[in-house]
Amino acid sequence: MSMYSISSSIKLTNQSEDIWKAISSDGNLNFFHPFCKKNQVIEGDKTLIKKDILIYLNGVVFERDFYKWEEMKGYELMIGRKNGKKSKVVWKISRRKNYSLLNIDVYPYKTDKINSFLYPIVFYFHIRPKLKSYLNCVLKGLKFYLNNNKKVTNNQFGRHSWFS
C-alpha cells in the first residue's frame, strides 16, 4: 500500500460466482454504480473486458483499461480521461469462512496542479476523504444490487461533488 492510496471493502454473503458475475459482466457499472450515467465496453470478448468507458452523471468521461484479469478473483485497471493521467484501481474478491470480502484499492495519479510540498496535506484532507466516500457508495451499490436484484438509482447514497 502506497502512502497515497485509498482502500475500501465490503462484506458480502453472496456466492463468489454472483459477485464475480456482477463486477465482470459487460456494462456492469450500469447496475450498481450510483454515479454512473453509462458504462460501455469498447474492447473485450465474452470472458473479459479489456477497455470500457464510464460516463458519470455530471458528464465526465473516463476510460478504464484492464491489464490484469483473474477469473473469480478480481482485476486491475488504469482509469482516467482519454489522453489524461491515469489512476490505478484494484478490485479483489477474497473468500472468508462465511462471507466474501470485496476490496477496491485506488492509487490516484499525482496532479501537477498541486505543489508537491502541499500535496500530502491536500491528499489527506481533500482527495482521500472524497475518494473514500466515492468507493463506499460504489460498494454499497454493489451490495444493494446483489441483495435486491435491482439497479441502484442515481446518487442513491448521496451526491458526490466530483461525479454527480
CATH of the domain at 52: 3.30.530.20
pLDDT digits (tens, 9 = 90+) for 25-43: 999 999 999 999 999 999 9
- Percent of the chain clearing pLDDT 70 (strictly above): 99
For residue 158, being part of any structural domain is answered with no
The pLDDT value given to residue 110? 85
**pLDDT given at position 2:** 64
| Overall domain count for the chain | 1
- Residue in 2, 27, 6 with CA at minimum distance from that of residue 105: 6
Q: Which of 134, 122, 85, 102 has its CA nearest to residue 18?
A: 102
> Tens digit of pLDDT for each residue in 42-56?
999 878 899 999 999
1 domain-assigned: no
Residue 54 domain flag = yes
CA 74 to chain centre: 12
Chain position carrying cell 482502500: 7
What phi and psi, each to the nearest 5 degrees, are found at residue 136? -60, -40
Q: Which residues pair with 78 in a beta bridge?
A: 65, 88
Give me the domain span that covers residue 103: 6-148
The span from the first CA to the last CA of the chain, in angstroms, equals 28
Give the three cell numbers for residue 10: 465490503
| pLDDT over threshold 90, residue 14 | yes
> Cα dist. 42→26, 27, 87 in Å?
10, 10, 19
Q: What's the pTM value of the predicted model, to 2 decimals?
A: 0.95
